[in-house]
Structure 1
């Protein structure tokens, strides 16, 4: 398979490290913000054509699949070009800053049968499979969780217009996990503030603390918080499910099940990034999408929630979700 990569950052490398180790998979072409960056990236994997324009890459290369690993603000035209050419594509989350861009892409996808996958890798974890199985036996009442960490150094992340903010860019993983395990969201209410970071750094327009309450269609109440004001190296990311039989805690690497008379812990046995790459490339090669756990259309519903959270924080009103 000949693979194209759009983007030359950390997640581009994470995926390229995985798929170039697979049999009969080759990094054929890279498109970056400059040809120099693209060439340097490609050189890590035995070379490959370098481009600074997506249209040029798609015109000159015969690609079996393309990875899109770019900041939130850079989505839109690239996806439309791939849809027009019928090329399967994998996107790192989030889909965009605001919902209007994914709306247009989803409209195009519904008219064209193109294979897609979105990088919500939590879905591919063994511990999440165990979580879903455990929840089948209990009635969940409430969920709490948070993405607590430091602010990424890249300038685009600190600008709300280019990153969307922490709920859109990071906490989206927890929101997607809630959807994956509990179904769809009916209503959201959120609040945000900037307590520290805007005073310490220039050009910070994202909030550094925030909280959102999600009412699920099932009636479950979910409270998710996030902050990016912690010092580098200090973090806590996880989610807790409170149910009729006890409590389940999921963090970045493990699952802990707590009941009246036992506590059982499972650690991650396999790399979920490998699994999501295998699922996508299998689909691109064979047309069988059954192993893909997050299609573009499914990920759109997670983006709808983060978009509603941001609108609620701005308007100070609860937002009802309508679906599409």
Structure 2
């Protein structure tokens, strides 16, 4: 290796430390999910949504404080289609008097409003959503495994799916730790995290495959290190610009997408780490080599025939 290469940061030199960190976080997250569980929102537990129309656009913070003073505990207040229409979602059993009670409480605070409609979501629907959401995550991971295994090689498929599961479990563990509300927006964020992290992992994997075919000097350690160095600027720039947008959504997007943005922020940070360390680390553990990525020779080629080189378009995939 040249002097310039020796001076580069040795990513793989910290792979054992990264392994300890990842295993600790995943185990801790699983324990938290088993002990504390997730704080499911109304989408999963059932509850009542009340749609109201104001004569003038109300201050949502005042609506929330009024409901809190009236003794209501778990609820979400958000605009629904227009500034004058407010949707109140409560984790309470549906009854005929709940919607009129909400109207009466808010009207006493000086609000000029009327009831548009109310809807009750039963717990049976919530249980069905839990099962379907878990199934959706498993199907997404299975499809990724098949896709990457066909596009690259089976070892790359494993090294792509495990980091995705790693990212999702850690995000769920953090939500269980702080008991943040887990609703359909957070579920959507988890699926988005899988897509984002996969894209980042594919970029690194593509460069590793390309370098295994092009670099004639150095073993797996050196090739994977060099591949990470060649993609790290792109990874940091992509993650940085994504985080800027997500932070803006978190601070200015309102309560409706607050947890969605928060889950994505955590997922982007963890996903960036996993695409560098977890994925590459697994390739090292599984012993990926040039032989795994060589293009098979055509049948009937003579022994003295010149070795066929892969076409240029294959290296660019």
Higher strand share: 1
TM-score, length-normalised on structure 2? 0.22
- TM-score, length-normalised on structure 1? 0.22
Relative CO higher for 1 or 2, CA cutoff 8 Å, sep ≥ 6? 2
When Rg is computed on C-alpha atoms for both structures, the one with the higher figure is: 2
